[in-house]
A and B are shown apart, each in its own frame.
Chain A
Amino acid sequence: MARLIDIQDVTMLPAKLSIRLGDILSFSATGGRVCSSSEASSLAKADVVRLLGAFSQGVVGPAGEIVSPAGPPSSVLFLASSVGAASIEVMTGDPWHHVRTTVLDVTVEP
């Protein structure tokens, strides 16, 4: 079964991050991007890890309305979409003032 992996503080991660195909990485972060990725079999550039997007959280109110906080996105999701290696950047902090960018090398296993 694929896993939803919640990462509160990307700067505290161990040096090596190995996940499985289908896993989703959910960072508490304001932004992110995939820098490079290559499939294990061919070394061809591919979407080994795919950025699903940057999201604000939301709750459902009593009348069914969706309520979100004011502020930048607070979660960034990546999907492990094929076996291989990828390098990703995760942005935390304040997008308007102090941006902290953390680069991670991620290995996706079968």
Chain B
Amino acid sequence: MTLQPHPLRALNSFFFSPVSVSGFALMRMGWAAVVLWYGFGELMDVMRYFSDAGILPAALEHLAVREEFRFTLLDVVRDPGDVLALYLLLMAATVCILVGFFPRIATVVAVLLLFSFHERNPLVLGGGETVLRHVGLLLMFAPVGRGFSLRRLRMQWKQWCMKKTLPPPRTIHVWPQRLLLWQLIVIYVASGWDKLLGDMWLSGTAVQATLYHSHFARFPVWMMDVLAPLSPVFSYATLLFEFLWLLMLLPSSLLACIGLRHGVLKRTLLVLGIFFHGGIFLLLDVGSFSAAMLVAYLGILTDADFHAVRGFFNARWLGGKKPSRQIAVLYDTYCGLCTRAMFTLLILDHLHRLKPVDFHDEELRKKIVPDITYKELDKAIHIRFIRTGKTLKGFEAFRTLSWHLPVLIPVAPFLYLPGISRLGRRVYKRVAARRKKCKHESCSL
């Protein structure tokens, strides 16, 4: 490697430098969720749309589909029952992708089946389906099972049992991510370019016309009237947003000349995109397009982006102070159940706020909770906010932690409903009383 001339090294680095797999693995799960969601919506029409008993029987197929360079398994599977079985296989494969069960194989199967269905009847396809196909192809190329999969979870568990740490995220080569970014740029710039060829976007009336189109509008005309006066602003903002993606093609040195950095620019575009597609999703029914685009955003996230997001939320939580692991969770490493609970908490700790502390370690215990006795710690899990010194235990500790674990935040408010605290304390007490039965040595899956 070191003997290579500089341009080749740069080329090698441009395509093959390692990036965290987390972005692509998240995109894999998002892709599966969108395919599954819209797939179930289509379930009742599978035979109508894709089999010989439907709108396109073999005799009429030539009217709607091209004959050259076309690959679809449904050229050979034509019976309605068989087509439905294949569709259910697609759904099953997407479930496997979602949960990370043999994700690589499941991705290949699901993507090929999705291509097959799309090629069988293009009359029901829209922009969202096209995005899903592009994302699908890139997912097939990337080793997406390295993150957020059951295999990865097993690896994490093994390391947790042996070293009481979690392994760092695994990496993939950057080239699938670069192709994805290019695809996004193409979507936005080609779309903006086409809009410039008409006159409604430039006259500022395009958004208003769209809001009034009853096929797309989710709300009645009188409600859209409220937004309609903003049509010129929204129309021009759309064009600006779409062409801003061109900046992503500029090298860092040129971007620096106008005071921009790639990472900041990308994150700004992603935030604008979330509002853009979120707004479209909220106001208009355009099928899976918004969801598919937001899923594609996940794939271009890098470690720096995750770090920035984490920093943003943690800095807000800490009132601008430097974010670090701020909640000490004191748990019993001799208890299998506690070890598993701690492992689960750490897996869900996407904001990196938790600091696991073995309370059998006297030095650490005296450093973090000098005021709590070993006997008390042995009765229930304790958490201590290192900055404020606030301490909670048992059910209250778990309830408070749920506000700090993004996946559990939707559940957190329900833990404050009347009666839940009492029930939670009782359940926690019972579980805690039996916890010693689960031995640390049983740490294996």
Report whether chain A binds chain B. Answer: no
What is the interface of chain B, defined by CB distance below 8 A to chain A? none
By a beta-carbon cutoff of 8 Å, the part of chain A in contact with chain B is none
